[in-house]
A and B are shown apart, each in its own frame.
Chain A
Amino acid sequence: MSETTLPVKARSNVSRLFFGRNANTVYALVLIVILASIFVPYFAGTATVSFLLIDAIPILLMAMPMALIIITGEIDLSVASTAGLSAAVMGVLFHDAHWNIVWVFVACIVVGLLCGAFNGILISTIGLPSLAVTIGTLALFRGLALVVIGDNAVADFPVDLTTWATSTIGGTGIPTFMIIVAVVVVIFGIILHFTPFGRALYALGFSKEAASFVGIRVNRSKFWLYVASGGISAFAGIFWVLRYSSAQSDSVQGLELSVVAAVLLGGVSIFGGSGGIVGVVAGVLIIRTVNYSLQLAGLPDTVLTIVTGTLLVLSVIAPSVTARIRRSAERKRSRTLIHDATAA
């Protein structure tokens, strides 16, 4: 939280690794998995791994650029619509224009990059509020998906591709596609945590003015984040189409809120300036695990949204409430100190 002004002792790297906010999210995930394995019948097994992870893939992909964007203090609500537009383009180019599937993929990614660049220009160059802009492009990109593909659904994609998208590695139950996702996650982790560009994003989230004074190119950084967000979202759209072997105008609809929920649950502050990739990955998996185990326990799908919502609210209230408690304890301590000093 950016408003705590306590004199906190800087943590060593080791203690941060095991006791930081990121670590807490991972512990929570491990605890949930253990509890689910004990109490939910049929949870422990390779089928769980494959079902759980394959549904996590699109959210996990889109959560990566989203985490970076929220760390800079902005937001991108248009990710699911960008994915939907790229899915629609994929369907039309493949089915109606008979493009080679490789060129179809390239075209989809380019569409996503252009969507991201459009957001980026409006937000960084013109300086419009990202919340309002991306609500607008959420409607615009979804609308363009409707224009492109209309009421049709394209389902005749090459069978070996669609089976590959849902295949798993050997007997482990881990989806093959997860390898690509892991590479994306690692790349984003390295960018955020180990490059000057990534570290600058935190500075940006704390204070834009201060960041530009120390020489960070605020607008350029933001622009490229949105371009990345568009590209990755388009990629998630491609995966979505292959996984469900169908491209429609409402592909990936409504997923933006799950993505934002997962990122915030993963410990990224909505005020910007803090959070980490490990926590975000754990956040995505927590949401998926809780949902999946409750599904196995027999709760209907539709009711599960209560769980997602509660997790989201709790994850933002908890740090804020603990910060408040700590602040009041601090105030009490300083008051007694003053009292002692004046008495002496």
Chain B
Amino acid sequence: MTQATPPAVYEPRAGRAIGRIFVSREFSVFAALAVLIIVTEVVNPRFLSAQGIKDLLLNSTIFVIMAVGQALVIITKNVDLSVGSILGLTAYGTGAVFATFPHIPLPFVFLIGIVFGAILGAINGFIVTLAGVPALVITLGTLYIFRGINNAWAGSNQYFVGNEPAEFGNMSVQTLFGIPWFALGALVIVIIFAIYMFSARSGRDLYAIGSDTDAARLFGIKVNARVVGAFVACGALTGLAGVLYASRFNSVGADTGTGFELQIVAAVVVGGVAIFGGSGTVTGAAIGAVLLTTMTGALAALNVSKFWQQAIVGVLIIAAILLDRILSIRTARKLRVSEARNV
């Protein structure tokens, strides 16, 4: 694989803090999102109706939660391609839980989904760290294996067809001041993980591992434990997303979540997380996920043929990588100049 240019970090002067927000990668993604929403709203005023906003937020929720987990893994220079299959397994597992215990309290359902996802993530993490093989290959393999298990388990059966049980299905439509509970939950998750990655010792370790794994190991960071932790977190968040998926959609079967992995990786990359680790933020990944889902809704609202959607997603991914490249070259040049002055 090509070596990504080392992420450039430089000490800003205090007064530039606000200026820094505007040149940050997250801001550019956010700006793109804002432009997209404004343009769409001007052309088609129904886009931002109460119902439109609700749909937008609900559709983003699942991808945002998965993107946060994926970002943790990608920051450590790994990738988890099996998230689509994990989502499928946990969503179907949720259905199986309701089929076996029809009156199970809802918190337990969430707990089971999260733990199930975390176990699947732990399998990925342990194989990757113990064998010392690139995560790309291992998770490509577990993508197949988890999907195969899902197929064998589900067969042609589908759960939640009649939106039963009603209490569980209704969760996805309940709102607080017009904002779906699910979206608020996703927001809380993003904030928690953003703070964790910014300030916690173990969160900073993930960046160190992604920038230079060997150096991190020499520095005394428990690389393997941290990487397994990132995979477990990714699995747990995907498990949570699986439960939410089961609540929101009324057919969960063998092929639920197929192909999600590429959309999630795309969202994370668009959100400014470098594909070869060491830089980017959870917030950026979350905004990237919102941007990609909004794009789908916006194109429909703009009357663009639905056939163009996927091509535009592709262009967006490539544009994001190009932008990252340009920004990193510029930062590197700026760094050279400023370091030369300091001598």
Chain A positions near chain B (C-beta within 8 angstroms): 73-75, 122-123, 126-133, 135-144, 146-147, 150, 208, 249, 254, 257, 260-261, 264, 270-272, 300, 302-310, 312-313, 316-317, 320-321, 324
For residue A126, which residues in chain B have a CB less than 8 angstroms away from its CB? 322, 325
For residue B262, which residues in chain A have a CB less than 8 angstroms away from its CB? 135, 138-139
For residue B307, which residues in chain A have a CB less than 8 angstroms away from its CB? 143, 146-147, 150, 249
CA distance A137 to B145 in the complex (A): 26
Choose from A131, A309, A310 the contact partner of B1 (Cβ within 8 Å): A131
Q: Are A143 and B313 in contact (CB under 8 A)?
A: yes
Given A320-B133, A321-B131, 11 more contacts at CB 8 Å? A129-B4, A131-B1, A133-B318, A135-B317, A136-B266, A137-B318, A138-B262, A306-B152, A309-B146, A316-B141, A320-B132
Contacts A73-B1, A127-B325, A136-B318 hold; do A143 and B310 have CB atoms under 8 A apart?
yes
Q: Are A317 and B133 in contact (CB under 8 A)?
A: yes
For residue B148, which residues in chain A have a CB less than 8 angstroms away from its CB? 302-309
Q: Are A302 and B138 in contact (CB under 8 A)?
A: no
Q: Are A317 and B151 in contact (CB under 8 A)?
A: no
Q: Are B136 and A270 in contact (CB under 8 A)?
A: yes
The 10 A-B residue pairs with the shortest CB-CB distance, nearest first, are: A140-B314, A143-B311, A309-B144, A306-B148, A143-B310, A136-B317, A139-B314, A302-B151, A313-B141, A309-B145
For residue A308, which residues in chain B have a CB less than 8 angstroms away from its CB? 144, 148
For residue A270, which residues in chain B have a CB less than 8 angstroms away from its CB? 133-134, 136-137
Tell me whether B309 is interfacial, beta carbon within 8 Å: yes
- Closest-by-CB residue of A relative to B269 is A132
CA distance A74 to B3 in the complex (A): 11
Q: Are B131 and A271 in contact (CB under 8 A)?
A: no
Q: Which of B114-159 contact A (CB under 8 A)?
A: 127, 131-134, 136-138, 140-149, 151-152
CA distance A103 to B305 in the complex (A): 29
Q: Are A142 and B144 in contact (CB under 8 A)?
A: no
Q: Are A143 and B141 in contact (CB under 8 A)?
A: no
For residue A300, which residues in chain B have a CB less than 8 angstroms away from its CB? 151-152
Q: Which of B295-319 contact A (CB under 8 A)?
A: 305, 307-315, 317-318
CA distance A133 to B265 in the complex (A): 12
CA distance A228 to B145 in the complex (A): 31
Q: Are A305 and B151 in contact (CB under 8 A)?
A: yes
Tell me whether B2 is interfacial, beta carbon within 8 Å: yes
Q: Which of B81-110 contact A (CB under 8 A)?
A: none
Q: Are B142 and A129 in contact (CB under 8 A)?
A: no
Contacts A132-B317, A312-B144, A317-B131 hold; do A146 and B311 have CB atoms under 8 A apart?
yes
Min distance, Cβ A116 to any Cβ of chain B, angstroms: 15
Choose from B140, B275, B305, B322 the contact partner of A257 (Cβ within 8 Å): B140
Q: Are A139 and B313 in contact (CB under 8 A)?
A: yes
Min distance, Cβ A168 to any Cβ of chain B, angstroms: 30
Tell me whether B182 is interfacial, beta carbon within 8 Å: no
For residue A146, which residues in chain B have a CB less than 8 angstroms away from its CB? 307-308, 310-311
Contacts A129-B275, A140-B318 hold; do A312 and B137 have CB atoms under 8 A apart?
yes
Choose from A135, A139, A147, A305 the contact partner of B145 (Cβ within 8 Å): A305
Contacts A138-B314, A146-B307, A303-B152 hold; do A129 and B2 have CB atoms under 8 A apart?
yes
Which one of A131, A132, A303 has the highest number of Cβ atoms from chain B below 10 Å of its Cβ? Answer: A132
For residue A137, which residues in chain B have a CB less than 8 angstroms away from its CB? 314, 318
For residue A261, which residues in chain B have a CB less than 8 angstroms away from its CB? 140-141, 144
- Closest-by-CB residue of B relative to A132 is B275
For residue B322, which residues in chain A have a CB less than 8 angstroms away from its CB? 122, 126, 128
For residue B259, which residues in chain A have a CB less than 8 angstroms away from its CB? 254
Q: Are A136 and B145 in contact (CB under 8 A)?
A: no
For residue B79, which residues in chain A have a CB less than 8 angstroms away from its CB? 131
Q: Which of B243-264 contact A (CB under 8 A)?
A: 254, 259, 262
For residue A132, which residues in chain B have a CB less than 8 angstroms away from its CB? 269, 275, 317, 321
List 10 interface pairs A-B (beta carbons < 8 Å), by A numbering.
A74-B2, A132-B269, A144-B311, A300-B152, A303-B152, A306-B148, A309-B140, A313-B137, A313-B141, A316-B131
CA distance A135 to B266 in the complex (A): 8
For residue A131, which residues in chain B have a CB less than 8 angstroms away from its CB? 1, 79, 136, 275
Min distance, Cβ B254 to any Cβ of chain A, angstroms: 7
Q: Are A75 and B1 in contact (CB under 8 A)?
A: yes
Choose from B127, B149, B315, B325 the contact partner of A128 (Cβ within 8 Å): B325
Min distance, Cβ A274 to any Cβ of chain B, angstroms: 14
CA distance A150 to B311 in the complex (A): 12
